[in-house]
C-alpha cells in the first residue's frame, strides 16, 4: 500500500492510498478519513459508495462528511467505483465500464477478469483497512449515492450481521426494471435475469430485509427519478414493515448539493447505530 496524500482535517487525517488489487487486477485507490479519536484506539467505520462516473474523490471532497465524522469519532472510507487498470475493459458510454462497476462480480467477457467490485468492497479492501488502520471490524455501517446507494443497500442486506445500519441517497432502487441496471446487468452478469435478483434492493427488501435501521433520502426534483424508481423500494419497505425511514425531500435534485445538505443527519443516524452518538 502506498500513501498518495495525507492532510489534517477537523483534527483527524484525510488520506488517499493506493494498492495492488488482486480481485480487480491492478492498482486501486481509496480515500480514508481517520478522526482524531483514532489516536486513542480503534474507531467505527462508515463506508461511502459513490455513483456513476465517480472515483474515490467525489464524495471525499464534496459530501462534507468529515466534520460530522470527527464529531462522532467515526472513520470514513471512500472506495473507487470500478477497476482502473489500463487493460481493464471499458465502454464509450458513461454508464458502463470504468466508473460504472455497479458493485457486482462480473461473470461475462470482457468484464469478468477485472470487474469484481463486490469482492473488492466486501472482502479485499475491508481486510486491508482492518490490517493497516485503527478501525473496528465489529462496528461498521454503510451508505452511498445513486449507483453507490444501490451497492450499499445490496451489500447490507446480503451480508447479515456485517453492518449496524445502512442509508442511501437517491439509490438506483429497482435496477432489474430500470435502464440503469438492465443494461449493466446484461453486460456484466449475462442474460439470465435470475442472476440479477441478488443485486436489486427492492427485491432483496421483499426477500430478506435488513437486520438493522435503514434511512433513504430521495430528492423530489431528482432529474433521474424514472430511472431510480424509489417508490418501488418504499413500497417494499412498507410491505416488509422494515425498521427504517424513507424520505422524499422536496426541491432537491441528484447532485452533491443534495447529499451535503443531509450528510450530517446520515452520519448521526449511523453514529447512533454504532453506539457513538
Question: At a CB cut-off of 8 Å and minimum separation 6, what does 28 contact?
Answer: 18, 19, 20, 21, 79, 80, 83, 84, 120, 125
Active-site hit among 114, 217, 222, 270:
222
**Closest by Cα among 153, 154, 156, 201 to 176:** 201
- Give the ranges where the chain is alpha helix by DSSP (H): 57-62, 66-72, 117-119, 125-132, 147-158, 179-189, 201-207, 225-228, 230-240, 256-274
**CA-CA distance, 102 to 115, in Å (whole number)?**
9
Q: Would residue 174 show up in a list of annotated catalytic residues for this protein?
A: no
Go through 201-213 and write b for each residue having 16 or more CB atoms within 10 A of its CB, e for each that does not: bbbbbbeebbebb
Q: Would residue 146 show up in a list of annotated catalytic residues for this protein?
A: yes
Active-site hit among 21, 146, 167, 201:
146
Q: Name the DSSP letter for residue 97.
A: B
Active-site hit among 145, 150, 199, 254:
254
Q: Would residue 206 show up in a list of annotated catalytic residues for this protein?
A: no
- Catalytic sites, residue numbers: 146, 222, 254
Amino acid at each position: 500500500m502506498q500513501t498518495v496524500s495525507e492532510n489534517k482535517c477537523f483534527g483527524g487525517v484525510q488520506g488517499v492510498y493506493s494498492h495492488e488489487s488482486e480481485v480487480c487486477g491492478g492498482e486501486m485507490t481509496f480515500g480514508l478519513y481517520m478522526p482524531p479519536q483514532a489516536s486513542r484506539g480503534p474507531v467505527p467505520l462508515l463506508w461511502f459508495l459513490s455513483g456513476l462516473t465517480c472515483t474515490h474523490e467525489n464524495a471525499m471532497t464534496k459530501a462534507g462528511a468529515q466534520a460530522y465524522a470527527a464529531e462522532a469519532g467515526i472513520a470514513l472510507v471512500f472506495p473507487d467505483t470500478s477497476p482502473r487498470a489500463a487493460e481493464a475493459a471499458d465502454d464509450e458510454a458513461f454508464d458502463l465500464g470504468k466508473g460504472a462497476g455497479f458493485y457486482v462480480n462480473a461473470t461475462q467477457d470482457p468484464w469478468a477478469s477485472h470487474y469484481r467490485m463486490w469482492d473488492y468492497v466486501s472482502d479485499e479492501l475491508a481486510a486491508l483497512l482492518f490490517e493497516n488502520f485503527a478501525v473496528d471490524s465489529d462496528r461498521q455501517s454503510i451508505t452511498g449515492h445513486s449507483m453507490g446507494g444501490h451497492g450499499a443497500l445490496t451489500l447490507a442486506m446480503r451480508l447479515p450481521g456485517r453492518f449496524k445500519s445502512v442509508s442511501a441517497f437517491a439509490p438506483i432502487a429497482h435496477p432489474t426494471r430500470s435502464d440503469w441496471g438492465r443494461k449493466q446487468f446484461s453486460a456484466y452478469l449475462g442474460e439470465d435475469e435470475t442472476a440479477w435478483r441478488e443485486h436489486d434492493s427492492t427485491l432483496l427488501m421483499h426477500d430478506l430485509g435488513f437486520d438493522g435501521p435503514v434511512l433513504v433520502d430521495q430528492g423530489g426534483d431528482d432529474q433521474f427519478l424514472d430511472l431510480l424508481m424509489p417508490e418501488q423500494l418504499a413500497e417494499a419497505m412498507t410491505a416488509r414493515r422494515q425498521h427504517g425511514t424513507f424520505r422524499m425531500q422536496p426541491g432537491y435534485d441528484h447532485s452533491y448539493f443534495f447529499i451535503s445538505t443531509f450528510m450530517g443527519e446520515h452520519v448521526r443516524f449511523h453514529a447512533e447505530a454504532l453506539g457513538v452518538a
